Amino acid sequence: MLCAAVTATFATAAVPAFAAEDAAFWYQDGQAALAEAKRLHPNMRRAKNVIFFVGDGMGVSTVTAARILEGQLQNRDGERNQLAFERLPYLALSKTYSVNQQTPDSAPTMTAMVSGIKTNDGMFGIAPAVQRGEKDGAVIDANKVASLLQLAERAGRATGVVTTARVTHATPGATYAHTSERNWERDTQVPAGATARDIASQLIDNFGAGKVGDGIEVVLGGGRREFLPNTLNDPEDAGAKGRRGDGRNLAAEFERKFNGQFVWDKAGFDNFDPASGKRLLGLFAQSHMEYEHDRANDTGGEPSIAEMTGKAIEVLKHNDKGFFLMVEGGRIDHAHHAGNAYRALTDTIALSDAVRKAMEMTDPEDTLIVVSADHSHVFTIAGYPKRGNPILGKVVTPGKNAPDYALAQDGNPYTTVSYANGRGYHVDVPGDDVYGAPVAAGRVADMRSVDTTDPDFHQEALVPLSAETHAGEDVAIYAGGPKAHLFHGTREQNYIFHVMQDAFRGKHGGKDDGANEHD
């Protein structure tokens, strides 16, 4: 149960010497930034490798708040802090609407980013001519579109998928599967009589002899239940079993078909040798992996998203033709849906750590790194808090100190961050579950004695809904490496694919790699 807490857990930030930021400081700061920008030169080389990071639900307000929180947790100036991907030199905006919705879900947005076309909500890897929930597999196959991962496989490159969500969830699933319904993650979720295929089986069946490429080299994330039969005990969770009804053990099939190794805990992950020549399937949870804040308490232990990214690169780099890797911070989205800003922001910081790891392990001369989001959330940063005020705290205006909080018209303090809709704030009542029925609209508590920086605090929401929703504004694209300069201006979301594909195109070592195909 997540509920409001009254004990302080937030790191107390040392007050930076903001007074030193006089006119001369800011003028010199601007001149230094200008000089750095003038030293930029477009990298026109062909990319050997492309790494695509997706912060699921990582809108601009999420990036801003995570930047500040990271600095404050480290007793540094949060406002002037930068997340790792904010140091990438090129930036653009992405328009996230889908063919049929102003505010999208992750299925069509990921299709746009990895397949180059926009489609309808709830489905991925197929053209918008198909209706959501189409049961005829022949119709789906006739309208499928190739992803960049599939094109990389076709060209003989190594490929990888890393996520903190289920690997069958919409964002990772769109890299290797084609479906008219994103919720058909396993066979028992596909309607009786349908010839459409479930998502998990496509991770195995879409690759190999007569298919696209020779199989994905590394797959890391959650969703073990979608791969194991309902007759098999889960290796980690006592009393749990797989949920497949067709008897297939897809983890075992991965090992046999692709010379792979299946691991399910931190020990198995750590012991896997990237130089072994084996492929790696790591499924570390029945469903989604833990939030970063809760990861240390997992029964079998879970690697961080940075550790998974590092291991994936170590596996993939052995292919002389290069590789394509997709990494998703999937639980940023889930925490926002729950109205829990702390976990959303700390998972964003964890994604930043993964980007930093990738930047350290690759050469910007031959590796394109792109970081973006599929959509935003209705998460706001508001009020007039003074510089250095805890980003998750209650608003204290310049010249004031807690507990002299700014007050709303109802006479109660309010927080800097909140949500436009969602579950809202629940009073800490014994037995009260934050995931229970929505509260009434409006303010529900005097938060003077509540520690709003506690990881378990759920921010207030204006409109009561069963869950907070996505938002429809543009999201950012950050990029560095070959062809990264092509990210500029405000672009349709499917443009991301076309830049990444173009970075892979051309001749390398005097031979065309064939990766400029698309079906």
At 9 the pLDDT is: 41
**Domains of the chain by range and CATH?**
49-378+470-512 (3.40.720.10), 381-468 (no CATH)
- Report the predicted TM-score, pTM, of the whole model to 2 decimal places: 0.93
Q: What is the pLDDT of residue 144?
A: 97
Active site residue 106: yes
Q: How far apart are the first and last CA of the chain?
A: 47
Q: Evaluate the CA torsion angle 47, 49, 50, 53 in order and state its sign.
A: negative
In this prediction, what percent of the chain has a pLDDT beyond 90? 86
Q: Is the Cα torsion angle 372, 155, 177, 119 positive or negative in sign?
A: positive
Whether the per-residue pLDDT at 490 is higher than 90: the answer is yes
Q: Which of 61, 94, 106, 372 is catalytic?
A: 106
Q: Residue 313 above 60 pLDDT? A: yes
- Of all helices (H) and strands (E), which one includes residue 32? helix 23-38
Q: List pLDDT tens digits, range 52-67.
A: 999 999 999 999 999 9
In three-state secondary structure terms, 221 is: strand
The pLDDT of residue 117 is above 80: yes
Answer yes or no: are the C-beta atoms of 172 and 232 closer than 8 Å.
no
DSSP run (H or E) holding 381: strand 379-381
Please tell me the predicted confidence (pLDDT) of residue 424: 76
Q: Which residues touch 172 (CB under 8 Å, ≥6 apart)?
A: 161, 163, 165, 166, 221, 326, 328, 330
329: enclosing H helix or E strand: strand 323-329
CB count within 10 Å of CB 278 equals: 17
Binding-site residue positions: 56, 169, 171, 328, 333, 337, 374-375, 470
Tokens standing for 113? 């980013």
| pLDDT tier, 511 (very low <50, low <70, confident <90, very high otherwise) | very low
Q: Which of 15-29, 121-135, 446-460 is predicted least confidently?
A: 15-29
Give the span between the Cα atoms of 7 and 9, in whole angstroms.
Answer: 6
Residue 444 has a pLDDT of 62
Mean predicted confidence (pLDDT) in 318-324: 98
Residue with tokens 């998928």: 161
pLDDT at site 153: 97
Predicted confidence (pLDDT) at residue 513 exceeds the cutoff of 70 = no
Give binding residues for Mg(2+) as ranges.
56, 169, 171, 328
pLDDT (tens digit, 9 = 90+) per residue, 398-434? Answer: 999 999 999 998 899 999 999 999 987 554 433 444 4
Condensed to tens digits (0 to 9), the pLDDT of residues 237-253 reads: 999 999 999 999 999 99
Q: What average pLDDT does the chain have?
A: 91
pLDDT per position as a tens digit, 152-179 = 999 999 999 999 999 999 999 999 999 9
DSSP assignment, residue 289? P
Q: Which residues are CB-neighbours of 413 under 8 A, at least 6 positions away?
A: 394, 395, 405, 406, 407, 446, 447, 448
Cα 327 → chain centroid: 7
CB neighbour list of residue 443: distance below 8 Å, 6 or more residues apart: 408, 410, 412, 460
Residues marked as binding for Zn(2+)?
Answer: 56, 333, 337, 374-375, 470
